[in-house]
Structure 1
Amino acid sequence: MHDHSDMWMPTDPPTWARLFTPHLDGWSWVAYLTVAALVAYLVGLARLRRAGVRWPWWRTLSFVTGAVSLFAVTGTELHGYSMVLFSVHMAQHMVLSMVSPLLLLLGSPVTMALRTLPRGRGTAGVPRALLLEALHSRFARFVSHPGFTIPLFIVSLYGVYFTPVFDDLMADPLGHQFMLAHFLVTGLLFFGPILGADPWPRTVGHAGRMLELLLPMPFHAFFGVAIMMAGSLVVETFANPPASWGVDPLADQNTAGAIAWSFGELPTVLVLAVVFFQWAGSEQRRNCTRERTIDRVGDAELDAYNARLRAMAAGRGA
């Protein structure tokens, strides 16, 4: 097991109560950023309410739940256990890359920021101007393109665990923090354009979004199966859990593979449902708009067709 001498490490075997006990010494950088993001979101919500702007309750609930899920795997004793047991680490990885990003994105934090940050050309308007500039930048369009996000999603699995990269990152506290942030950012970049809950550098149709979601899922499922079927340890970091815990590293690795395999199903179904209902809603709005237009000015196509028929009949009568 690699040395994390500057980080808190658990001494007792894990229990559900221990896993989710907050532990300040064990906070990841991601935990601090999570708390800061949640405070900023709630401040934005308070500003909207003072301005009399309605904000859907489910967006707030989604963002808060996402922040709680993020803190649960980076600000509790689970974070310490994730450096000792492969199964706990894999659960942390799946939450960071597939659960928290979905919930945070459904909270529409970019929309919240654009509505609450001050406008104008002075110093006060700089943060909002920088955000808009970032959203429209060439770099943002590149990192949100499926040609980048889908390979990144797949490499985050195979390229990390089936190469020496994982053990190298886990051997260095800074590398470990980078890896956690990488998992989260990968999830945000992958799901952001697909969910379309916020202004995004690149827009794509609903069918295209469903395709983007489904393309990497077989690779995700096979990754979990490959971990489960491995006859030897895939990574060395978790080779020597404390003997007093009575954990078999190979059996724990099998559990890690099962966690990775099973985590792909629910988020995929959730996102498919969101995109489908958005699609259905956009079609309904389009039909309603067309009906209102017809009520206001008449159906131009039908009127033109009837006029053509009348002209043809008049021509035949002549």
Structure 2
Amino acid sequence: MSSLRVTPSRVLIAVAPLTLVVAVLALFASGAVAPTPPLDPGPLARWSLPLLTIATRLAAIVTIGSTMMCALVLPAPARDRHVHHRQWEKTNPAAWLKSAAIARVAAIIWSLAQLGNVIVEYSVTAMRPMTEPTFGSELWIFLTQVDLGIAYLWATLLTAFAAVLVVLMSHYTSAAWAGVMALVSLVPLALTGHAAGAASHDLAVSSMLMHLVAVTMWMGGLLILLAVAKDVGTQLPKIAQRYSAVALWCFIITVVSGVCAAWIRLNGLGELVTTPWGLLLTAKTVAFVALGLAGYWHRERTIPLLGRGEARPFWRFVGVEALIMGATTALAVTLSSSAPPVPQSPLPDPSPVWEATGYAEPPPPTFATWFTQWHPDPLLIFGCIAAIVVYLRWVYKLRQRGDHWPLGRTICWVIAWVSLLWLTNGGPTVYGRILFSAHMIQHMSLVMITPVLLALAAPITLSTRGLPARKDGTRGPREWILALVHSRYARAWANPFVAAINFVGSMWIFYYTPLFQLAMTTHLGHILMTVHFTIAGYLFANVIIGIDPGTKRPGYPLRLVFLLATMAFHAFFGISVIQMNSLIAADHFGRLGLGWWVDAMTDQRIGGEITWGIGELPTLALAIILVYLWSRADTKEAQRRDRRADRDEDAELEAYNEMLARLAEQDAQRR
């Protein structure tokens, strides 16, 4: 028991000093804080920037880790528990309350450190000492007129807002909202640093965002596990197992994002040992491999020992993990402060296509190039592959316990995500950024084809059957899915009228406002466009032909009316695009200067025709599926009535005949 009381505290006390020592040594070794004559911001700015960055990262790690543990792992006070279970196991909420208290302190430190980091970042970026009389006015211009400064300003504002939500959190739902907002605060950070370079910008931003999210949840959860060690008591085996599942996903995401980040910053593997940046990356990789091995050892050895009351091996390995993570954080900050072998500065005199999209002009579109041209995004690729793997794992679990799951639903799910992977990384995305007609093929597929397959796959129904239910009041994946599906927000958006309006209205708002150009010119806007229209399509398809819960579906005749009405609105939108005399997103499509020249207005009219044509075919398919389901529903209802008639010897028919006889008798008496 002494190990349980002492070791975690000692490790926590050692993490911050170890991180600082490793950072200082790495900064010296890499030359990241060396003077930069003739323009130099001064030693205060050069040294305070990486140290403030470490403080910001550690505070963010603790904040996100705390909210993650509160939302997914630790049991909250009984009054905050959801209502999906009636029989609760006795749990102690002390660990949840301590984690929430730690999150509040860390969130405040994070917001203050982020503010200081912005000030010093400008000093180093502009090579302006903070003692200059005009430093304040120059800083304001940087924050309001320069893209990098605007990103830092957004990061500061989002962090402050996240801190407010963290301070106010008191239950599972508020912890989830605070955690999501804290993760959103990382997005501007992914747009800065090495990720802001012109070379492979989209790939760098996605890999950086994946890395930040995974590392903060992984390391933060581990530190909180140490912090609440004395409060978990007999719940430790269960809590450790849940955290281990989260850590495994974080490990996989970190591997994927790390490989992508190294790929675009190194000319070859030889630079891992021949350049200062490569040596730092090698040291970080070695530490990361050690963390992966420690996690594997936990799952295979130490966590099973917890069930037998042997806690010492577990805490020993957790302590080593935490110390290695602290050193890895220091190396990561030093890497971000150092110049990689491949320059990440903007390219000299880029072509119009590169300037607008971030990649070179592709060859003229042909049937073959639609499948050979790729612009991979690790975030979207990983999301698609993970969705397939998780679904197949749920199906496997059902089969293991003897339950049946239709093969057709599984096939629909796999095809949906494979098609989405191609639509968001292959030819449709490569040509969709430079040709309006190609974009409409991508868009209409995202909103009309993929969602139909997703609705037919019934993922929510499968998840509620395949995921284990928790009995201690905490919210795991199954509980969160049920809570989301039955929330008033989800019910509102899944309402048939709202889903139909969102399905049709989003298109008009998107294409006739600056949102379309924003999606064409920014990586974040493009991802948000993909997510929104896929979800909008799924919500509508789920109303018409879906199996999943979450919406009160109207009768089949009204569903057919909804479908025909949306078909008319889609056709009208396509016709309006065909008849337009001005170019949509003219600042983008009008200045590309493609080597294989194309008339932008003609291409836009083709896009309108594609919208009309592609929109009608999936709608027709939906109508056929709807009629088929309608006929099956009528057949099942007739069979149900036949079975009931067999059970009660046609009591319903006899009652109906008796009623008719009484009416006839009453009519005869009146005459």
SS at 1:121 equivalent: coil
Shift in Å, 1:166: 1.2
- Is this contact kept in 1: 2:354–2:360, CA < 8 A? no
SS at 1:16 equivalent: coil
Q: Deviations over 1:153-197 (max 9, x none)?
A: 222222111222211332322112211211111111221111122
Is 1:145 aligned to 2:489, yes or no?
no
Is 1:206 aligned to 2:561, yes or no?
no
| Alpha-carbon spacing, 1:218–1:14, altered in 2? closer, same or farther (3 Å) | same
Is 1:283 aligned to 2:638, yes or no?
no
Q: Match for residue 441 of structure 2? A: 91
Q: Which moved more, 1:133-142 or 1:115-124?
A: 115-124
Q: Match for residue 576 of structure 2? A: 226
Shift in Å, 1:130: 1.4
1:162 pairs with one of 512, 521, 543: 512
Is 1:272 aligned to 2:627, yes or no?
no
Shift in Å, 1:3: 6.5
1:54 pairs with one of 404, 413, 432: 404
| Alpha-carbon spacing, 1:107–1:9, altered in 2? closer, same or farther (3 Å) | farther
Aligned length: 311
TM-score, normalised relative to structure 2: 0.44
Q: Aligned partner of 1:238: which letter? A: F
**Distance in structure 2 (CA, Å) of the matches to 1:186 and 1:28:** 23
Matching of residues 95-110 of structure 1 within 5 Å:
95-110=445-460
Shift in Å, 1:77: 3.8
Q: Identity of paired residues, percent?
A: 36
Is 1:12 aligned to 2:363, yes or no?
yes
| Alpha-carbon spacing, 1:32–1:8, altered in 2? closer, same or farther (3 Å) | farther
| Alpha-carbon spacing, 1:66–1:285, altered in 2? closer, same or farther (3 Å) | same
- Is this contact kept in 2: 1:153–1:190, CA < 8 A? yes
Q: Deviations over 1:64-104 (max 9, x none)?
A: 11112111111224312211111111111011111100011
TM-score, normalised relative to structure 1: 0.88
Q: Match for residue 259 of structure 1? A: 610
| Alpha-carbon spacing, 1:242–1:117, altered in 2? closer, same or farther (3 Å) | same
Task: Give the number of the structure whose alpha-carbon radius of gyration is greater.
Answer: 2
Q: Match for residue 26 of structure 1? A: 376
- Is this contact kept in 1: 2:579–2:605, CA < 8 A? yes
Query: Structure 2: where are the runs of 5+ without partners?
Result: 1-351
The root-mean-square deviation of aligned C-alpha atoms, in Å, is 2.5
| Alpha-carbon spacing, 1:302–1:77, altered in 2? closer, same or farther (3 Å) | closer
Q: Aligned partner of 1:21: which letter? A: T
Is 1:37 aligned to 2:403, yes or no?
no
**Distance in structure 1 (CA, Å) of the matches to 2:475 and 2:552:** 24
| Alpha-carbon spacing, 1:13–1:154, altered in 2? closer, same or farther (3 Å) | same
| Alpha-carbon spacing, 1:22–1:198, altered in 2? closer, same or farther (3 Å) | farther
**Distance in structure 2 (CA, Å) of the matches to 1:303 and 1:119:** 46
2:422 pairs with one of 61, 72, 76: 72
- Is this contact kept in 1: 2:496–2:551, CA < 8 A? no
Shift in Å, 1:11: 3.2
**Distance in structure 2 (CA, Å) of the matches to 1:306 and 1:250:** 70
- Is this contact kept in 1: 2:496–2:553, CA < 8 A? no
- Is this contact kept in 2: 1:193–1:200, CA < 8 A? no
Q: Deviations over 1:191-244 (max 9, x none)?
A: 111112212233322222222222222111011111112223122122234432
Q: Aligned partner of 1:62: which letter? A: C
